[in-house]
Each structure stands twice: as C-alpha cells, then as structure tokens.
Amino acid sequence: MELWIVGKYRSGEKLNVVWDFNGVFDTEEKAIKACRDSSYFVAPAILNQSLAGETMNWPNAYYPHSEKSKSIT
C-alpha cells in the first residue's frame, strides 16, 4: 500500500536536510492539500517496507507549491 508523507523543510542540503513530519495520507491529493506553502513537500512511502537504513535520496518526493515544483531528489 502506497501512502504519502508530508514534511516541512527546515534547513540543510541534499542528504543532510532537516525537516518536520507533518502527516501521512492515503492519497497524494490529500497530502498536497496539507501543504501550507512552498516549504512543504510530499513523498510516497510503502507501508511495511523496510529500507536499508542508509542515507539516500527519496524517490518522487517534491514540493507541490514551489514555483518550479522541484523534486527533492
């Protein structure tokens, strides 16, 4: 099952970004609605999927309210 995480960017650059967790949603549309401004991002996550535990890019994460809708990855 794919879920959508909403986070708020705080500081840092790739692989060292600090962000606040702001929710988890069952659709991308609901996640986008939870984003208040361009500092919020959405990213997909698979329920019950374990990751390697290493720092890595988050595939398909993006800022929906950014002028360029830039990807995090």
Neighbour-count burial of 54, counting CB atoms closer than 10 A to its CB (0-12 exposed, 13-18 middle, 19+ buried): exposed
User: Would you state the pLDDT for residue 72?
Assistant: 58
User: Would you state the pLDDT for residue 71?
Assistant: 57
User: Would you state the pLDDT for residue 34?
Assistant: 98
* Amino acid identity, position 50: S
User: Would you state the pLDDT for residue 10?
Assistant: 95
Question: How high is the mean pLDDT in each 10-residue block of the chain (73 residues)?
Answer: 97 87 98 97 95 82 81 55
User: Would you state the pLDDT for residue 70?
Assistant: 56
- What is this structure's pTM? 0.84
